[in-house]
Structure 1
Amino acid sequence: MNSHHQIIKTSPASLFLFCLLILPLSATCNVEKTVVARCIDQERDALLKFKHHIQSDECGLMDLWGNPGTPDCCTWKGVSCSNPSGHVIGLNLSAAPYQKTCLSISVFSPSLSELKFLKYLDLSSNYFYDMEIPSSIGSLVNLIHLNLSDSGFSGDIPHQLGNLSRLTSLDLSRNDELSAQSLNWLSQLTLLRDINLSGTDLSEATDWTQSIGSLSMLEVLQMDHCQLSTPLTSSSILYANLRIVSLSINYYINSSIFQWLFNNSNYSTVKQSLEYLDLSYNSFQGPIPNEIGNLKFLAYLNLSRNSFSRTVPDAMGNMEFLKYLDLSYNSLSSTIPDEIGNLQSLMYMDLSYNSLSGSIPSTLRFSGALETMHSLSYLDLSHNRLEGFAPGDVEDSHSTSHINSSNQLEGPIPSSVGGSSPLLHLDISYNLLQGSIPSAIGDLHSIVHIDLSYNHLQGPIPSSLGGASSISYLDFSNNYLEGAIPISIANLKYLGYLDLSNNYLRGDIPCKLEITKTPYFAKFTYNNLSGSIPIKLSYLGYNAFEGNPNFHMDKFQGRCDDDKHDGNIYLGLYVSIGLGFYTGFWVFCGTLTLKNSWRHAYFRFLDRIIDKIYVVVAVYLARFRRKSQV
């Protein structure tokens, strides 16, 4: 012990020399001083008291807590200590990484309040049996981060949390029975940067706007599904650091929030900082304000499931960093503005379930999207009143999902659709498309979903379809397709959904066709198919084949043609063996019959062989008898 104190008091030069000498023996030597953090006994006992009230630990988070082999609590899983003081400063028992509930706790031990130096506390994704959040947490005045999300807490949020004046991050989300009658305590958390109260019942917290407005450092505001009853107004302060605002599924929030966003004294700064805005599932009405186009640094915008009307603002074309845009399930009308094509960073766009009309802008067609919107991978324009169709080249398209169903699109499917190799999902059903299915569709090697149903498509199903071997969902129903079902369709080994009903298809169903992916679905009804049910589709039932007058639903197909060819191969093999035996036999026997000298020599040879065998057998039998008599 004395030598240890001498080392600490030595001069830096001597200590440096000492480290050089013992470096091979110790990799932990420090030029200034060597200190090993060890747990404080009082805090160790507090942690063990907390463990004592844990009913179950499904993830083994506390297996080593209190183990004789690990007396130092600073080495326990989830515990972090200060170096060199040894005080516990972090406790992370979150079950989120395990994707299941780890800890079940029926009594929240007040012993955690003894961890006076605790800065980080994460108990998320565990189960606390619908207990209230303990008010004793408010005594942990050094806390910087508090996460109690998805943990089964209920009741009112304790106002004592307002004592955590150093808190910068607070997450109480996804506790479905949690509520608050007032958020006045929030105004004391002046350093708060990130708050998430999503799922908390705030229907009675009419002071939420004033409380949020007092958080001058706030960067992230998440209050989804909170039953907010009082709207934000321009009188509520909007702070310049705000990056994320998520207020979805509140129903009572209306268009007055735009006054808060756009008529605020800090608006000029906020439009440079706001990156994420989610106002979906609310009660917005009227037009989307043009000012939203001034949020040039916005990357995520979700205004879906509201009652917005009129047009999509041209000013949205100014949002050059926008990557995600969802305006679906509104009442937007008129045309899609050409300016939308200026969104070169856009990766996801959903304008479905509106009343948009007119032609699709050239920038959103197969040919146009690849010219300007290189990043667009998901496009949904379904359930509108859009007209026309976009022939063109798609050889360089990066789109993975193109959904344009339930419109009034006309004309043929572009013959070069197969050039869009990354395409995974193509749905242009419920339109007025004409012409044939292009053979290039077989070049879509990555596609998994194709729906061309309810159009006016004609001609045969291209035999090249078998080249799109990744397809799991295929719907060509309710068209005017004719001809035979191509044998190559049996190459679709991942097929789980197939609907070819209500066409004019004829001939047999390919016997090797198989629906392999669950849930199984196949439908061939109301065509002109003949033949019988393939053995591999016998489990589908008669309903899958009805409406084909020449089809025998009471019979099953025999072996496939390829199997018959295999039988012919075996037949040929047997014939060859028979002919070979017949020829060899008569070549040998015929020679012996016609040439006397060969016949006599052959039989003399056989006689000598038989005599030798007889002598050998007689000798062995004689020896055996003698041994038996002895």
Structure 2
Amino acid sequence: MGIIIFLQILSIFIGFLCMETNGSTLVHQALEVQCKESEREALLKFKEGFKNHFGYFSSWKAEEDCCQWERVGCNNETGHVIALDLQGDKGAVTLQLQGEISRSLLNLTHLSFLDLSQNDFNKIQIPEFFGSLSSLNYLNLSNAKFKGTIPNQIGNLSTLQVLDLSGNGFSLTANNLDWLRGLSSLKFLDLGGVDLSKDSHWLEAINMLPSLKELGLFACKLQNLPDSLSYVNFTSLEVLDLSLNSFNSSIPNWLFKIGSGLVEIHLRRNQFHGLIPDAFGNMTSLVELDLSENNLQGHVPKSLATLSRLTVLNVAWNSLEGIVTDVQLLNLSNLRVLELSSNQLAFDIAGLSCCNLGQQFPNWLQTQKSLSFIDISKSGISDIVPNWFWNLSPEVQYMNLSFNGLRGNVPDLSLNRKLSIIDLTHNRFSGSLPLFSPNMRVVILSRNSFSGPLSNLCEMISVNNFLGYLDLSDNLLSGPIPDCWNYGKDLEVLNLARNNLSVKIPDSIGYLVQLKMLIFENNGLYGEIPPSLKSCTSLLVIDLGLNKLSGAIPEWIGENLLDLRILVLNSNALEGLIPLQLCQLKALKLLNLASNRLSGRIPSCVGTLQALTEPGSSCYYNYDLKTLSMMHLERNITGAQRLFPQAVPVVKSMDLSSNNLSGEIPSQFTSLGGLLALNLSRNSLTGTIPPNIGAMEAMESLDLSWNELSCAIPDSILSLSNLSHLNLSHNKLSGPIPHGKNLLSKFGATSYLENQNLCGPPLSKNCLERESYGAPDCPKMELQERSRSSEEETGNGMGIPPFYISMALGFIIGFWGFWTPLLLNTSWRHAYFKFLGSMIDEIYVRVVVGVAKLQRKLQSQRQGE
């Protein structure tokens, strides 16, 4: 909010104290007058109310003068305590007060400055007795986790000039703001985040504060906004912030009656609609105007061009239309931030982000000598960037030219010490890599035609650099990766993918201990994966695919990089076994080891990869900086949070294809209920498809082709209702293809080709024409049951073709036509069995005689030899 105004107020307050004490200050120094005994006792009792006072009160010793204590200020002449500065530190729990606020503060009758902000008071209420600290000029309770209703007694502090209750969330409420009427001296009021939804007359209470200079009511759940006031009393206002409320109205008329002294107006995301009033042009002192994320229609008012002091103009994410010309912008010579993106504006110059623009580079920018923020991304410009642009303003901190057709070379930018973020993605820049200063924090030059070596990088990542994000992917860069990463203490993302880089990965990569994404895929890198990488324990993504790396997959990947989400090592020359240690990567969501020379069995422990057992369709790859700790970005640069491309979802998947893996598919695979894609094709896997494969209910793509899998396709595969791709071809599968609502037949015959003993639709082989279904070690019961289920789908009432029905009837008639007379007539039955016995005896004699003759013949032949 208006920090300059706040500092002005604070300086006025300190000046007031100095006058009151005839030159005394709050700086600790040797004092002739010691603090009052009663006030020292009050402070000691106040200290006892807190649990973790060691970080705050180490100097608060009973035997010493309390005016010498840290965070305590006294009047030099009287010895009275006049200030308590107990602001906490949100970055350190040990520097946050926790506990109760003692009423002993009431004994500090001359206390005029009290700051308890940035602490953790664990949802206690603001004490009502604060309203009895009658000497208070400054009260700051912001971001301190207070709860409940703001006590009306605060309105008794008639001398209060600064009141800050912001940042306590909607847990802090006010039924109304009538208590403000007693704060006639108030100059600074910030109630940001306080729930004021119950107060429909809040504006009338604010109007009773004639001295108010800065007002913050952002995110207060306000809904009622009167369009006019009978008179405007708070004409001293310089900063107004009503952002993030739900007014759903037009911009009110009373705003333009406050006076010409307004310096900042923040009305973002309030559901304002209608036109932007021309009356803004009369606010000649205006420095910042933010009307973004509303529903304003119509043209950008020409009157805004008269605001020569304007440094920030943000009307992005509205429904503005029409043409913006050079004339409307040339007078805004002090402009640092200009946001017109996500409207329906057209430009007869060049343009700004996401607008309908021409092809020429915007020459009007040449007049903007104080810009700190430049965003002309996605603007359709296909021009050479003029030389004057690169030296436009020494104040530029953020530069986004991405997703255009910009051409030319990028010059040496190392002398621009304030530039910290640059994005040139998806253009046609060429030449060697530009030089940048060590102050760069984000450098994205991907999808261009930069060529030559990476030697310039070493100047940017020298001692005391701030680089956190480096993306040089999709260029024509060549040569080795430089071995100068020793000072990359802040680097979290390193993407050099899809270039022509060669030689080994340098050992100094191991110094990047904060690294979360390492992406070197599709280069010409060779050698082993450097063991120094084991020091990068913060890694979430490793992508080294499509290179020439050799050696074994290191065991330390599973032992040291326990936060790893994505591991891509495909299309290299890696060999040996898949390490069991990879099973320790409980967060792993994508594993790609395809197209290597891996051998041996697939570890059964893959079924314990926890992230793949859990539901949830995707993780995020490449640019998911919302989950990374890139907190170095300047938050006061409008639009910086939209620098990075939207995260690309990647399905939970495992690809072990095109290796030399052998043995059976582990049954534990079926525990991976969250896996969406599995590819084990082109290996030497044997045995059966796991019978319980249907347990992998989330599966969308399954490829087991080009192996030596045998026996039947399990019926449970019918449970994979999400399956959209299936390939079981080139195996030794047998038996009928399972059918249930034609689930598997929808894939066509190509999914089952080259399985000699596989039958049934969509194949042309009819299962009933075969006597057996393959290898004798396959389960027969399953095949017989499958055959019966297949027969039930073929029609003819009972599901049996007429030929087989007639054959069965003939067999039945012939069988019972022979046996029925024998069963009914005893003499016939005896004669038949007598005949059958004599026939058996005759056959037996003939066999014995024949065998004897054969033996004599063989013996005589041996003797003749």
2 CA distance for matches of 1:444 and 1:360? 31
The answer for the alignment partner of 2:212 in structure 1 is 218
Equivalent residue number for residue 265 of structure 2: 277
Separation of aligned partners in 2, 1:191 and 1:542: 60
Match of 2:222 in 1: 228
The answer to whether the 8 Å contact 2:402/2:424 transfers is yes
CA separation in 2, counterparts of 1:308 and 1:496? Answer: 40
Distance 2:37 2:162 in 1: 29
Equivalent residue number for residue 164 of structure 1: 157
**Secondary structure of the structure 1 residue equivalent to 2:197:** coil
**CA-to-partner distance for each residue in 1:39-85, whole Å, 9 max, x for gaps?**
344434333332332333132326424x22x2x44443333344544
Specify the code of the residue in structure 1 equivalent to 2:45: K
Tell me the amino acid that sits aligned with residue 295 of structure 2.
S
- Tell me the distance in 2 between the aligned counterparts of 1:420 and 1:289: 43
Amino acid at match of 1:298: L
Counterpart for residue 340 of structure 1: 329
Query: Which of 141, 144, 165 is the matching residue for 2:134?
Result: 141
Q: Report the CA distance between 1:116 and its aligned residue.
A: 2.9
Q: Secondary structure at the match of 1:91?
A: strand
Task: Tell me the distance in 1 between the aligned counterparts of 2:91 and 2:483.
Answer: 41
Distance 1:476 1:342 in 2: 38
Length, aligned pairs only: 498
Q: Distance in 1 between matches of 2:87 and 2:276?
A: 40
In the alignment, is residue 401 of structure 1 matched against residue 380 of structure 2? Answer: no
Q: Residue 554 of structure 1 aligns with which residue?
A: 574
Letter of the 1:404 counterpart = L
Structure-2 change in CA distance of 1:354 and 1:386 (3 Å): farther
Contact 1:245 1:277 in 2 (8 A): yes
In the TM superposition, what whole-angstrom CA distance separates every residue of 1:207-233 from its partner, at most 9, and x where no partner exists? Answer: 211100111111010112211122143
Q: Secondary structure at the match of 1:161?
A: helix
Change (3 A) 1:361 1:53: same
Kindly indicate whether the alpha-carbon contact (under 8 Å) linking 1:202 and 1:227 is maintained by their aligned counterparts in 2: yes
Deviation of residue 522 (structure 1)?
3.8
Quote the residue 1:304 is aligned against: 292
Q: 1:552: Cα distance to partner?
A: 3.6
- Give the conservation status (yes or no) of the 8 Å contact 2:433–2:454: no
Long gaps (5+) in structure 1: 1-27, 29-34, 557-630
Determine the C-alpha separation between the residues in 1 that align with 2:299 and 2:72: 55
Deviation at 1:166, TM superposition (A): 1.6
| Inter-CA distance 418–156: structure 2 relative to 1 (3 Å threshold) | same
1:153 to 2:149 alignment: no
Deviations 1:585-618 (A, max 9, x none): xxxxxxxxxxxxxxxxxxxxxxxxxxxxxxxxxx
CA-CA distance at 1:186 after TM superposition: 0.4
Which whole-Å CA distance do the structure 2 matches of 1:497 and 1:449 have between them? Answer: 9
Aligned to 2:519: 523
CA distance change for structure 1 residues 215 and 333 in 2, over 3 Å: closer, same or farther? same
State the superposition RMSD in angstroms: 3.9
Q: Secondary structure at the match of 2:253?
A: helix
C-alpha contact (below 8 Å) 1:496/1:521 kept by paired residues: yes
- Where 1:55 maps in the other structure, the secondary structure is coil
The answer for the alignment partner of 1:424 in structure 2 is 420
Among residues 220, 245, 248, which one is paired with 2:243 in the alignment? 248
Could you say if the C-alpha distance between residues 459 and 346 of structure 1 is closer, same or farther in structure 2, counting changes exceeding 3 Å? closer
Deviations 1:465-488 (A, max 9, x none): 54763465443545xx55x62336
User: 1:290: Cα distance to partner?
Assistant: 3.3
How do 1:1-20 and structure 2 match up within 5 A? none
Bigger shift: 545-554 or 89-98?
545-554
Pick aligned residue for 1:59 from 51, 55, 59: 55
Please report how far the alpha carbon of residue 542 of structure 1 lies from its aligned counterpart in structure 2 after TM superposition: 8.5
Deviates more, 1:396-405 or 1:356-365: 356-365
SS across alignment from 1:137:
helix
SS in 1 for 2:305: helix
Alpha-carbon distance change, 137 to 545 in structure 1, aligned in 2, over 3 angstroms:
same
Q: How does 1:259-270 map to 2 (within 5 A)?
A: 259-262=253-256, 264=257, 266=258, 270=259
Instruction: Trace 1:250-399 onto structure 2 (pairs within 5 A).
Output: 250=245, 252-262=246-256, 264=257, 266=258, 270-271=259-260, 273-338=261-326, 339-358=328-347, 361=350, 368=363, 371-382=366-377, 385-389=379-383, 391-393=385-387, 394=389, 396-397=391-392, 398=394, 399=396
Which of these residues, 165, 172, 182, is aligned with residue 176 of structure 2? 182
* Larger mean Cα displacement after TM superposition, 490-499 or 396-405: 490-499
- Map of 1:617 onto structure 2: none
Q: 1:507-551 CA deviation, whole Å, 9 max, x = no partner?
A: 735654864533243435457x48566647987998532399996
Q: Tell me which protein shows more helix as a share of its residues.
A: 1
1:118 aligned onto 2:111: yes
2:84 is aligned to 91
Q: Give the direction of change, closer, same or farther, for the CA distance of 1:538–1:369 in structure 2 (3 Å limit).
A: farther
In the other structure, the counterpart of 1:469 is: 460
CA distance in 2, matches of 1:520, 1:444: 23
The match for 1:559 is none
Q: Secondary structure at the match of 2:46?
A: helix
**TM-score, scaled to structure 1:** 0.68
Aligned partner letter, 1:166: T
* Pick aligned residue for 1:107 from 100, 106, 117: 100
Secondary structure (helix, strand or coil) at the match of 2:574 reads strand
1:411–1:373 CA distance, 2 compared to 1 (3 A): closer
Q: Deviations along 1:535-590, whole A, 9 cap, x unmatched? A: 4798799853239999643279xxxxxxxxxxxxxxxxxxxxxxxxxxxxxxxxxx
Instruction: Confirm whether residue 439 of structure 1 aligns to residue 439 of structure 2.
Output: no
Which amino acid is 2:268 matched to? S
Residue 809 of structure 2 is matched in structure 1 by none
Q: Which ranges in structure 2 are unaligned for 5 or more consecutive residues?
A: 1-23, 25-30, 354-359, 462-466, 550-569, 577-865
Flag the 1:514–1:185 CA change in 2: closer, same or farther, 3 A. Answer: same
Q: CA contact under 8 A between 2:380 and 2:405: conserved in structure 1?
A: no
Q: Compute the displacement of 1:245 (Å).
A: 1.0
> 1:78 aligns to what?
71
In the alignment, what sits opposite 2:681?
none
Whole-angstrom CA distance in 1 between matches of 2:413 and 2:362 = 11
Quick one: structure 1 residues 101 and 301, their matched pair in 2 at CA, closer, same or farther if it must change by over 3 Å? farther
Q: Aligned equivalents of 1:103 and 1:499: distance in 2?
A: 39
| Change in CA separation of 1:258 and 1:429 when aligned onto 2, cut-off 3 Å | farther
Q: Distance in 2 between matches of 1:145 and 1:237?
A: 26
SS at match of 2:285: coil
- TM-score by length of structure 2 reads 0.51
Structure 1 residues 385, 392: CA separation in 2 closer, same or farther (over 3 Å shift)? closer
Matched letter for residue 332 of structure 2:
L
Deviation, structure 1 residue 109: 2.4
More divergent stretch after superposition (485-494 vs 313-322): 485-494
Larger RCO (alpha carbons 8 Å, 6+ apart)? 1
C-alpha separation in 1, matches of 2:69 and 2:133: 21
Q: Are residues 114 and 542 of structure 1, via their aligned partners in 2, closer, same or farther at CA, if it must alter by over 3 Å?
A: closer
Partner SS state of residue 485, structure 1: strand
Superposition pairs of residues 456-535 of structure 1, within 5 angstroms: 457-458=448-449, 460-461=451-452, 465-466=456-457, 469-470=460-461, 473-477=469-473, 481-482=475-476, 485-487=478-480, 494=488, 497-501=493-497, 505-506=499-500, 508-509=502-503, 511-512=505-506, 515=509, 517=512, 518-525=514-521, 529=524, 535=530
Instruction: Please give the alpha-carbon distance, in whole angstroms, between the structure 2 residues aligned to 1:411 and 1:260.
Output: 46
CA apart distance, 1:184: 0.4
Q: For residue 469 of structure 1, what is the amino acid of its counterpart? A: M
Cα gap change, 1:56 to 1:420, in 2 (>3 Å): closer
1:375 Cα offset (Å) = 1.8
Per-residue CA deviations over 1:327-375 (Å, capped at 9, x if unaligned) read 4444444554423343322333444444544465489998847742222
